[in-house]
Chain A
Amino acid sequence: DTGVSQDPRHKITKRGQNVTFRCDPISEHNRLYWYRQTLGQGPEFLTYFQNEAQLEKSRLLSDRFSAERPKGSFSTLEIQRTEQGDSAMYLCASSLELSPNQEAFFGQGTRLTVV
């Protein structure tokens, strides 16, 4: 396994369009997290999945955002009616529930630019 994979790496979209990002976690990892990072800031938590269940959502995740992990493997994050304020790096991380140190492993991120 090559680690956490995110696709696409970069996305430029016009305001008002919908976009979808994909995250493939490390294969045996059952915990999956989405974070968002704006320029010059640390990442902020968006949502958390344990297997296929979405167990926590940040209030940052407005109604325009939806995330799924239908089979407990890959996850998608969709943003509807994108706004310029959605421009950010979207990061996915995974970890193993049974791991004693709960280390999070990150993908390379998807950089979204809304024009």
Chain B
Amino acid sequence: KQEVTQIPAALSVPEGENLVLNCSFTDSAIYNLQWFRQDPGKGLTSLLLIQSSQREQTSGRLNASLDKSSGRSTLYIAASQPGDSATYLCAVSRRNSNYQLIWGAGTKLIIKP
């Protein structure tokens, strides 16, 4: 059974710092991995998607990496801003489970001005 873990559960850093969020999964037979952002009480905003054959994806100040063999992904945020404060969730899908997403519990990020 696939399990997804995100560490740390919460993180507070000063504005301007670069930071890394971690996601690990127990079954390497994934189709893709997605990183999402969720603001309090709101829905999910997709940030980056990495196919199982890819090693990383970049969008602006965000960079996501994937090491499928070790079951790990990282989300790197450069030059953090207070507006980056949110919960970040990662999720993996598998072809033989209709691509349903299996989720981590998220990392709550606070960027202090």
Interface on A for B, CB 8 Å cutoff? Answer: 6, 31, 33, 35, 40-45, 48, 50, 55-56, 89, 91, 93, 95, 100-109, 111
One digit per residue, 1 when the CB lies within 8 angstroms of any chain A CB and 0 when it does not, for chain B 62-99 equals 00000000000000000000000000010101000111
Given A91-B44, A103-B46, A111-B41, A42:B103 Cβ within 8 A:
yes
Interface status of B43 (Cβ within 8 A of chain A): yes
A101 near B43: Cβ-Cβ < 8 Å: no
- Complex contacts, B49 vs chain A, CB 8 Å: 101, 103
With a 10 A CB-CB cut-off, give which of B31, B42, B98 has the most chain A CB atoms: B98
Q: Which of A31, A41, A48, A102 contacts B105 (CB 8 A)?
A: A41
B98 near A56: Cβ-Cβ < 8 Å: yes
Q: Which of B41, B44, B46, B98 contacts A48 (CB 8 A)?
A: B98
Given contacts A102-B99, A107-B43, A108-B42, list 10 more A-B pairs with CB under 8 A.
Answer: A43-B89, A43-B101, A45-B101, A56-B100, A91-B43, A95-B99, A102-B93, A103-B46, A109-B42, A109-B43
What's the nearest-Cβ distance from chain A to residue B39, in Å? 10
Interface status of B51 (Cβ within 8 A of chain A): yes
Classify chain B's interface size: 20 to 34
A102→B100 CA distance, assembly (Å): 10
Interface on B for A, CB 8 Å cutoff? Answer: 4, 31-32, 34, 36, 41-46, 49, 51, 89, 91, 93, 97-106
Nearest chain A residue, comparing its CB with the CB of B89: A42
13 A-B contacts (beta carbon < 8 Å):
A33-B101, A40-B105, A42-B4, A42-B91, A42-B104, A43-B91, A56-B97, A56-B98, A56-B100, A95-B99, A103-B46, A108-B43, A111-B41
A101→B49 CA distance, assembly (Å): 8
B98 near A50: Cβ-Cβ < 8 Å: yes
A27→B6 CA distance, assembly (Å): 33
Nearest chain B residue, comparing its CB with the CB of A46: B100
B93 near A106: Cβ-Cβ < 8 Å: no
